[in-house]
Amino acid sequence: MSSPAAAQTKLPEALSLTDANKEVLIADAAGRPLRFDKAPLTFLALGPDASAIAHLLAAFAPGRERLIGLEKIAGSPDLLLERLDPGFGKKVFLAPGWSVTAVASLKPDVVLGRGRKLEAPFKALVDASMPVVLLGMDSPEQYERDLAIVGALLAAKERVDELILYYRSLYGRIVIGTIGLNTDLKPRVLLARATLAGGAAVLSLPPLGSMPTGLVRAAGGTPWEDMADKNGVMKPLSMGALVGWNPDLIVLSVPAVEDPAAVLAAFRADPRARPLQALKPGRIFTVPSDLDAWDTSDPRWILGLDWLAAQINPGRFADYILDADVITFFDRLYGLDKAAVAALIKPALRQSVK
């Protein structure tokens, strides 16, 4: 992201933000130039990151109404979107594995997906003459462009400015706070997905170029990239490989359906982990979360970045206060006041376990 000192938001090239009745020109995350005669009125969010896309769209008030449906596993609630849009329950929810015919029947003006290349199943939609816009959502820098793309589609220039300046203010604070950290001074940080299987902690390494990798780097750490998959998939991480790298800090991202304390306890209890220097007090912890994770493509990544920077370099971010960060985020992104945050978010807030 650009420096927060910039007086005004400069939108990325190849974007034309106009009023709702004029054409919209964008270049999506795959670099494809796209043209719309006017601002689209209906959106469909598809792919594994559909909920994150819907949360990004919901940061724009018109986006909440214009989202007509999304890919979603049956029975999985989305309390945030349900709170923001009283009509959310009436939207169309497509199960993973949807067909081109099912999507075409909804006649969306735009299908939103995540990716840097037009690949299946989105290519099949394009081949069927359906408009697909890809968002990157894989790094702090790309997120600024994604905000501008969505803002262009919604003809919401003022809101784009507000959101980009909010993200820049936090991101810029971290950039300033990590000035002077040479590569040799940056701790080696493992940020990995952790689950329980047979009573043991099982770790998976995020792919190269993913949001977790970008968060570690932006927060002032050195991510483990040599072992990361280059094709966008999570890679199983053996304890032997982890001990061989022996990171300075270990950060575990635990799915919402599992208990972070139990996962961390299982990891510590594994005798194979004994050589790890990160088992010392204050060097291993779990990522906080609320209704959704803080280390993924969801807009909450900025909460994860601010928290992670305070863990990696606590002396440089001694003023970090998690609760204040959460209140500001949900106010700036979704217009929720303190009472709403206390009722909706705080009950689901999982603090870091160390």
Q: Within this chain, do residues 155 and 275 fall inside the same structural domain, yes or no?
A: no
Which residue, 113, 141, 175, sits at the end of a domain?
175
Residue 297 sits at the vertex; the CA angle it makes with 228 and 347, to the nearest 5 degrees, is: 120
- For residue 6, the model assigns a pLDDT of 33
Residue 230 and residue 81 share a domain: no
The reported pLDDT for the residue numbered 107 is 97
Shared-domain flag, residues 247 and 112: no
Pick the last residue of a domain from 127, 153, 175.
175
Does one domain contain both 339 and 191?
yes
Q: Are residues 233 and 328 in the same domain?
A: yes
Supply angle C-alpha 176, 303, 353, rounded to 5: 110
β partners of residue 114: 135
Q: Is the pTM of this model over 0.75?
A: yes
Whether residues 136 and 202 fall in one domain: no
Contacts of 162 (CB under 8 A, 6+ apart): 332
Ranges of H-type helices in 92-224: 100-106, 122-127, 140-153, 157-177, 211-218
Q: Are residues 219 and 273 in the same domain?
A: yes
| Residue 9 domain flag | no
CATH of the domain at 330: 3.40.50.1980
Structural domain boundaries enclosing 287:
181-348
The token pair at 118 is: 């037009």
Q: What does the pLDDT profile of the chain (354 residues) look like in tens digits?
A: 543 333 333 333 334 444 667 899 999 999 999 999 999 999 999 999 999 999 999 999 999 999 999 999 877 889 999 999 999 999 999 999 999 999 999 999 999 999 999 998 999 999 999 999 999 999 988 999 999 999 999 999 999 999 999 999 999 999 999 988 877 779 999 999 999 999 999 999 999 889 999 999 999 999 998 888 888 889 999 999 999 999 999 999 999 889 999 999 999 999 999 999 999 988 999 999 999 999 999 999 999 999 999 999 999 999 999 999 999 999 999 999 999 999 999 999 999 998
Shared domain for 53 and 148, answered yes or no, is yes
The answer to whether 125 touches 103, Cβ cutoff 8 Å, is yes
Shared domain for 169 and 252, answered yes or no, is no
Residue 2 domain-assigned (yes or no):
no
Residues 6+ positions from 334 with CB-CB distance below 8 Å: 58, 59, 80, 84
What is the structure's pLDDT at 18? Answer: 47
- The type of residue at 249 is L
28 assigned to some structural domain: yes
Cβ neighbours, 10 Å, residue 175: 18
Please tell me the total count of domains within the chain. 2
Query: Cα(296)–Cα(233) distance, rounded to whole angstroms?
Result: 13
Same domain, 105 and 204: no
Picking from 117, 141, 175, the residue at the C-terminal end of a domain is 175
* Same domain for 238 and 164: no
Inside any domain, residue 145: yes
Instruction: Count the alpha carbons within 13 Å of 66 in the hemisphere toward its beta carbon.
Output: 24
pLDDT recorded at residue 1: 52
Amino acid identity, position 285 = F
- Inside any domain, residue 18: no
Domain-located, residue 79: yes
Q: Is 311 inside a domain boundary?
A: yes
* Residue 247 domain flag: yes
- Return the H-helix or E-strand segment holding 65: helix 61-66
Q: Sign of the C-alpha dihedral, residues 114, 156, 215, 307?
A: negative
Answer for the pair 115, 109: CB distance below 8 angstroms, yes or no: no
Residue 188 and residue 335 share a domain = yes
Secondary structure (3-state) at 188 = strand
Burial (Cβ within 10 Å: 0-12, 13-18, ≥19) of residue 204: middle
